[in-house]
Structure 1
Amino acid sequence: MIKKLLQSVFLTLVCLFIALTSQGQGAQNPLIHADVPDMAMIRVGDTYYMSSTTMHMSPGLPIMKSKDLVNWQLVNYAYDTLGDVDALNLANGKNAYGKGSWASSLRFHDGTYYVTTFAQTTGKTYIFSTKDIEHGPWKAQSFEPSLHDHTLFFDDDGKVYMIWGGGQLKMVELKDDLSGIKPGTESVLIGNATAPAGPNVGLPAEGSQLFKVNGKYYLFNIAWPKGGMRTVIVHRADRITGPYEGRVAFQDKGVAQGGLIDTPDGDWYAYLFRDYGAVGRIPYLVPVKWEDGWPVLGIDGKVPDELNLPASKGLIPGIVASDEFTRKKGEPALPLVWQWNHNPVNELWSVTQRKGYLRLKTGRVDKDFLQARNTLTQRTLGPESAGSTAIDVSNMKAGDFAGLALLQRQYGLVGVRYSNGAKSIVMVNAESGSPVVAESVPLKQKKVYLKAEADFNDRRDVATFFYSLDGKTWKKIGSQLKMAYTLPHFMGYRFGLFNYATETPGGYADFDFFRVDPSLEGSFQKP
C-alpha cells in the first residue's frame, strides 16, 4: 500500500515538473523554419495577418493568420494566377523562376484589407482588396509601371501613397480609387537611403515598409554593405514628405528586412527574416523598445533565441501538411499548403477522377523537369524534414517520368521512368546544374513508394532519396544531393509531385498520398 502511494506521489511530481517546465518554454527563433520571406504584417484587433513572397508559384501572395505571433496558418491567397504570359505558363521555353510577384505590402483601412505586390514578369503593380481577408472575394487592380519593393500607405488626411525603389527612394500619390498613379506626384523621398550603412554599398537600401507611430513616420529598409551583413536601416520624419533622418537600427546574423508590429498589450516587435541556406529565407521576431522616439531592436543589439511569447506548436499543418487526397463534399480540391510550380493546366489534374488519389496527366512533351507543367509543391521545413508518396504507374505512357522531387535549380528527384518498354525507379541529381541519372533500378510492379529526406541541420543542406516496394522497407537510391539556394530560383527547396511526358502526351500517374514529417526518422503514418 505504501509502495503504491509512493509511486502515485512520484508520478504526480513528475507530471507537475513536466507541466511547469513546458509552461516556461516560450517561442524560439527562428519563428518559422521554412521559406517565408519578405513578410508584411498587420494586427486587426487580437488577430495578426501576414503576407509573403512565393514568386512563380500559383496560387500566389499567401495570407497567413495568427493569434499569438508565433503559430501561423495559411488562410488564403490574393490571386490564383498573376497573368497569362509564356513565362508564367512555362510555355515556349520561357519561365518565371525567381520572378513572378515579389515583396508585398499589407494594410487594413476603413474596414477593407489591401495587399499589394509588383512583378517584373508583367511590368505591373498590383492592388488586391477585400472585406474578408480569410475568404475573399478579392478585387484586383493593376497599373504600370512595376514599383519595386513598394510600401502602400494610407495617411490620416485620406491620401494614399506608395514608396519604392533601391538606394534612391521615391514616392507617388495614388488616385482615390487606387487605379493608378496621380500624374505629377512622383518625387524623390530620400536621395541615398543607404547612407547610414556607410559608403561601401553592396545591396542599396530597398524593401521599404512605412509605419506611423505617435505622429511620426518610420521607414524601414534593408541594405547590405560589402563584406558585411544584411542591415536594418530606419528613417524617421515628422511629415510623410520628409525631411528624413536615418540610422542603422539593427545588425546581427544578417537578420533584416521587415517592419513593426505591436501586441494588444502594448509590446512591440520587429518581424525580419534571415537567409538560411537551402531551406530558404526564414522569419525571426526581435523585441523592440522605444527610446527618444526611435525603435531600438533586439536584446543588447542581438537576436534573442527565446521570446516572451507562446511556444510554437510546429509548422504542421498550418504551413505544411500531409494530404491523403481524400475530399469530403464542399472541401476545396487542394488544401492551401499546396502551390503549383507556375500556372497549372487545370484540365490535366484531378482529385476526383479516382477517389483518394491525385491524378497528374501529361498534356505535352517536355525534355526537362524544370519545364514540366503541373508540378505540385509545398515547402520543406527545417531543421530537417522528409516527404513520402506512393504512385500507381500503370497508366504511364512510353517516355513518361513521374515521382517526387526536391525543387530548386539544382534539384534532386526520385521517380519512375517508362523507357524502352520497361519501367525503372530512377534517381536524378542536378547538383552540377545539369541532370545526371545517379541510379536506375528495374520496376516490375505497378505501385511504388518514394521518399525524400532534407537535412538542413547546421546548414548541412543535404538530401537523400529512397524507394520502397511495400511501404515498409526503404532502400536508398542514387547519390546524396548537396542542396544550394540559387538566385535564379530565389526560393527554398520545395517538395514536388510531378509527371511529364518526353515522347507522347496522354498518360497519367496516380499519387495515393503525400506525407510530411519534421524529422528524418518519420513513420509517415496517415495524418
Structure 2
Amino acid sequence: MKEKFAHRCLIALTMVLATSGLRAQHAGNPVIYADVPDMSMLRVGSTYYMSSTTMHMSPGVPIMKSTDLVNWKIVSYAYNVLDDVDELNLNNGKSTYGRGSWASSLRYHKGVFYVSTFAGTTGKTYIYSTRDIEKGPWKAVSFKPALHDHSLFFDDDGRVYMMYGSGRIMLAELNEDLSGIKPGTESKVIIENASSPAGPDVGLPAEGSQLFKVNGKYYLFNICWPKGGMRTVTIHRADTITGPYEGRLALQDKGVAQGGLVNTPAGKWYAYLFRDFGAVGRIPYLVPVKWGDGWPILGINGRVPDSLDLPAGKGYDPGIVASDEFSRKPGAVPLPLVWQWNHNPDNSKWSLTQRPGYLRLTTGRVDTTLMLARNILTQRTFGPVCSGVTAVDLSGMKDGDCAGLMLLQKKYGWIGVKVTGNTRSVVMVSAESGLPMELEHIALSQQRVYLKADCDFRDRSDKGYFYYSLDGKSWKQIGAVLQMAYTLPHFMGYRFGLFNYASKQAGGYADFDLFHINDKIASND
C-alpha cells in the first residue's frame, strides 16, 4: 500500500516538474511587469521596436528593442529635452507631473523611423525622425495644436495623416515634411462616436488611436471604458482612410486594452496592449490574434491567456532596469539608458567625474518640497517584488540638506539623511497622507550609510518598506510601511529615485556610491 502511494506521489511530482518546465520554456503575461504604457510597436525584418510613455521624465519617449517580443532592452530615446519651459524645468514653483509627452506613435517609412507624440504642457505635437533608431541622431519638428492620442500614418499614395481624438475620431493631413497640418485642409470627423461598439453608457470615450493597413483595409484600434465595466478594445475598419468605418467590440477581459497589431516573420499576429495594475503602473500584455472574415480576432475564446507561445522572459536587469556602480571608463556613456531624470535636469549640478566612482548630486537652490527638487535620478520599480539599495557618503552635505532613496509617486516615501545644524539623522518620510511626514529619525555618527527600499506588488498589496544599514550587511527597518497608490496627478508607476535637496542653503552635495537592484525582498509577512 505504501509502495503504491509512493509511486502515485512520484508520478504526481513528475507531472508537476514537467508542467513547470513547460511553463518555464514559454513567456507569460504580463510580458513586462513594470510601467511601460501606451506602447506603439513595429517590426523591421526580424527586429521589433517599441516606444512608450514616460511623460515628465527626461530623456523621454524610450525606444525598446526585442528579437522575440518578450525580452526588451532600452536602446534609445526620441528626445533628451522635450521643451525648455518652467513646468518641465521645475522652475518658479511649477511642475508638469502626469503631463509632459503622452502616447507616442512609432512608424517606419522608406528607411526612416518616426516617433510622434504630443504634450498638454506645451500644447504642441512633436515628430522625431532618424535613420538609425538605436544611435540617432534624431531630427525634431513640432507644431500646434497638440493632437490627442494620435496615430501617425503614411499611406500608400504618399500622403501623411494623423488620426486622433477622444470619442469623436478626427483625421488631419500633414505637410509632406511633417511640419504641420497641410494648409488648405481641415481636420475631418471620421467616426462620430467610436465608443458605440462598447455600448451606450461609456465613461472614458474612445481614445488611444492606432491605425494599421492590412491587406488593403484600414483598421483602427481604440480603448474605451464603459461605466461600471472595464477597459475595452474596440476596432473599426474601412476600405478607405476617410471611411465609412464599421466597428465592433474586440476584447473585454481583465481590463487589458489600448495598443495595436504586430506580426512575426513567421506570420503569427499579436495585439500588444496594457493593463492598469496598481502602484507598479500600466503593464504590457501580448494577446494572440487570428483573422476571420477580414477582422482581427483577439484572445483565446475572447480571453487574455496567461501563457504565450513565445520564448520565456529572462528578466528586466539589464535592459529595462539595471544596477550601477557609477564607475565609468573614459568615453563611456555618462548614464545608462535605464536612468531618467524627474523633469529636465540641471546638468551643472550632477557629476560622475568630480569624484570618480560616485554620482555627485549638488544642490543649486533652496526648495520647499522634495517634489520640486531638481535632479532626482530615477529607475522603474517592477513586480512582483523588487528592491533598490544605495550607499551615500554624507561628508559634503550642509545644514538643511536631505538626501536619500525614494519611492516616487504623489504618495511617496523616502529613506535618507537629514542634516540639522551639525547633527545628521537617518529619517523615514511618508507622504501617504498627501503631506510629507517624518515618521522616525535616528542619530547618525558616521559619514557613510546604506539605504534600501523594498516594493511588494504581489496581489496588488502595493507595500513599500524602508531600511538602513551602517555596514551594508545588517539592516534595520525604519518608519512605517508605505501604502503605495497609483494616482492620476502623477499618472506613472512608482520609481526608485536618488535625490539631494536643500531646505536652507545651496551648495551642499551627496555622493552616491552605488545603486543595486534586486528581484527579491526581505520577508515582511
Q: TM tier, shorter chain?
A: over 0.9
Aligned residues: 507
Aligned ranges 1:314-353 → 2 under 5 Å: 314-353=315-354
CA RMSD of aligned residues (A): 1.3
1:139 maps to what in 2?
139
2:3 maps to what in 1?
none
CA–CA distance in structure 1, aligned partners of residues 417 and 320 of structure 2: 29
SS at 1:240 equivalent: coil
CA–CA distance in structure 2, aligned partners of residues 160 and 353 of structure 1: 48
> Which has the larger displacement, 176-185 or 29-38?
176-185
> Which has the larger displacement, 235-244 or 413-422?
413-422
Normalised TM-score (structure 1): 0.95
1:41 maps to what in 2?
41
1:458 maps to what in 2?
459
1:354 maps to what in 2?
355
CA–CA distance in structure 1, aligned partners of residues 146 and 21 of structure 2: 51
2:376 maps to what in 1?
375
CA–CA distance in structure 1, aligned partners of residues 79 and 165 of structure 2: 24
1:478 maps to what in 2?
479
1:211 maps to what in 2?
212
2:96 maps to what in 1?
96
1:28 maps to what in 2?
28
Q: Deviations over 1:265-296 (max 9, x none)?
A: 00000000000000000000000000000000
2:55 maps to what in 1?
55
**Residue 24 (structure 1) shift:** 6.0
CA–CA distance in structure 2, aligned partners of residues 55 and 92 of structure 1: 20
Q: Deviations over 1:432-470 (max 9, x none)?
A: 000010100000000000000000000000000000000
Partner amino acid for 2:310? L
Partner amino acid for 1:285? L
SS at 1:308 equivalent: strand
CA–CA distance in structure 2, aligned partners of residues 237 and 19 of structure 1: 44
1:232 maps to what in 2?
233
Aligned ranges 1:41-190 → 2 under 5 Å: 41-183=41-183, 184-190=185-191
CA–CA distance in structure 2, aligned partners of residues 21 and 125 of structure 1: 48
* CA distance 1:333–1:19, shift in 2 (3 Å): farther
Q: Deviations over 1:119-162 (max 9, x none)?
A: 00011000000000000000000000000000000000000000
Q: Deviations over 1:36-68 (max 9, x none)?
A: 000000000000000000000000000000000
**Residue 18 (structure 1) shift:** 8.2
2:296 maps to what in 1?
295
SS at 2:500 equivalent: strand
Partner amino acid for 2:237? R
* CA distance 1:225–1:26, shift in 2 (3 Å): same
Partner amino acid for 2:444? L
Q: Deviations over 1:44-97 (max 9, x none)?
A: 000000000000000000000000000000000000010111100111111010
Structure 1 runs not aligned, ≥5 long: 1-13, 523-527
CA–CA distance in structure 1, aligned partners of residues 342 and 513 of structure 2: 20
SS at 2:481 equivalent: strand
CA–CA distance in structure 2, aligned partners of residues 464 and 50 of structure 1: 32
Partner amino acid for 2:265? P
CA–CA distance in structure 2, aligned partners of residues 521 and 476 of structure 1: 10
**Residue 331 (structure 1) shift:** 1.1
Judge conservation of contact 2:23–2:307 (CA < 8 Å) in 1. no
1:10 maps to what in 2?
none
Partner amino acid for 2:336? P
CA–CA distance in structure 2, aligned partners of residues 39 and 235 of structure 1: 19
**Residue 519 (structure 1) shift:** 1.2
SS at 1:133 equivalent: coil
CA–CA distance in structure 2, aligned partners of residues 19 and 515 of structure 1: 33
> Which has the larger displacement, 419-428 or 224-233?
419-428
CA–CA distance in structure 2, aligned partners of residues 306 and 348 of structure 1: 46
CA–CA distance in structure 2, aligned partners of residues 211 and 22 of structure 1: 34
> Which has the larger displacement, 329-338 or 44-53?
329-338
SS at 2:411 equivalent: coil
2:4 maps to what in 1?
none
1:283 maps to what in 2?
284
CA–CA distance in structure 2, aligned partners of residues 19 and 232 of structure 1: 32
CA–CA distance in structure 2, aligned partners of residues 429 and 23 of structure 1: 40
Structure 2 runs not aligned, ≥5 long: 1-13
1:365 maps to what in 2?
366
**Residue 20 (structure 1) shift:** 10
CA–CA distance in structure 1, aligned partners of residues 228 and 92 of structure 2: 40
* CA distance 1:487–1:378, shift in 2 (3 Å): same
Structure 1 stretches of 4+ moved >3 Å: 17-20
Partner amino acid for 1:42? L
CA–CA distance in structure 1, aligned partners of residues 19 and 521 of structure 2: 28
Judge conservation of contact 2:100–2:119 (CA < 8 Å) in 1. yes
* CA distance 1:425–1:305, shift in 2 (3 Å): same
Normalised TM-score (structure 2): 0.95
2:10 maps to what in 1?
none
